[in-house]
Amino acid sequence: MSKNPSESEVIMTELVLPQHTNALGTIFGGAVMSWIDIAGAIAAGKHARYTVVTASIDALHFIAPIRLGHVVEIRACVNATGRTSMEVGVRVDSENPLTGEKRHCVSSYLTFVAVGADGKPCEIPQLTPVSDVEKRRNQAAMKRRASRVQLAHELKREELVKKI
């Protein structure tokens, strides 16, 4: 069975409240990271139809500040799948509700693994990108996966050398 990325798309909306902000009135990075992880997990779960766990989060780069009182939109969608894992892309935008100004604030890529009731990885449906955007995202995700796999091999090699 195969699924289209649009079947797993998630749009979450949050309001930045005082408990989310630091002394400068901008959001704590950890609050945004939590929202990213939740949106990503929902998208991955919708695709897999299993419980999912976060395996990794690629680097987060905060492009613009998110301020107290802003409305935050978090969009998540599955970009690529493996046998039991999937990459989910998440984009965070902020809107000033008084002016209507919108800004792209953060993007991230997360890897989730589907797990069964026994806690072991489960096979998931493959992804069939349809639109040009979905195909572009899928190709970029495959390049990121190759990079992640290469890094994992290098780290394992370094650990083996340390043991010798």
32-57 pLDDT, tens per residue? 999 999 999 999 999 999 999 999 99
Give the Cα separation of 39 and 118 in Å (integer): 24
pLDDT at 156: 86
Name the percent of the chain in helix, strand, coil, to the closest 5: 35, 35, 25
Give the Cα separation of 34 and 29 in Å (integer): 9
What is the number of domains present in the chain?
1
Task: Name the pTM for this structure.
Answer: 0.91
pLDDT tens by residue, 121-154? 999 999 999 999 999 999 999 999 999 889 888 9
Structural domain including 118 reads 2-163
Length of the chain: 164
pLDDT at 152: 86
Give the Cα separation of 133 and 135 in Å (integer): 5
Query: Could you tell me whether strands 126-127 and 71-81 are parallel, antiparallel, or unpaired per DSSP bridges?
Result: unpaired
Return the CATH number at 89. 3.10.129.10
Confidence of residue 60 (pLDDT cuts 50, 70, 90): confident
